Chain A
């Protein structure tokens, strides 16, 4: 099973700043089959990115994904108030599908 490690655990930033979240896999993720999700309290999780870099429908272009192999990054170019949340990465290239432990982006 592929283990995903997200860093940092918590990111303290101010609105307008740039957020860079990392997701590292214990082995290569085939065909860049990596997704990112946003989780807010009391709301359903939202798909942000799939295929490592393709934004899901309706996702603002301030969200971008990059990476391949074992190292992936989610970047939020300028944080909006609604972006403060927990972000999860997930690999779906091999079974079982696995998730990272999450990165919380909080207001500084």
Chain B
């Protein structure tokens, strides 16, 4: 199956700092999503971004599908941004579709 690697595994920031999280994947994919898992375990959809660039407030994401990587940018970080950020890639069609997760980046934003 497809391998999904995220970096860095852990990241500690001061409030107000910017950060970039990276997701590399080993093969062509149909879909790519970024999630934030809050302290209660809920996965929040951040971006659906199989290619191109999207922005939503202080967050933006870019996927370069031909080079098999995606980046998540967090600007002016806040303590509420803390949590685990997952990249997940979707591949296969119809009943064979799968969404495979990376190991995540644990972000801690200190006041």
A and B form one complex: no
Residues of B within 8 A of A (CB): none
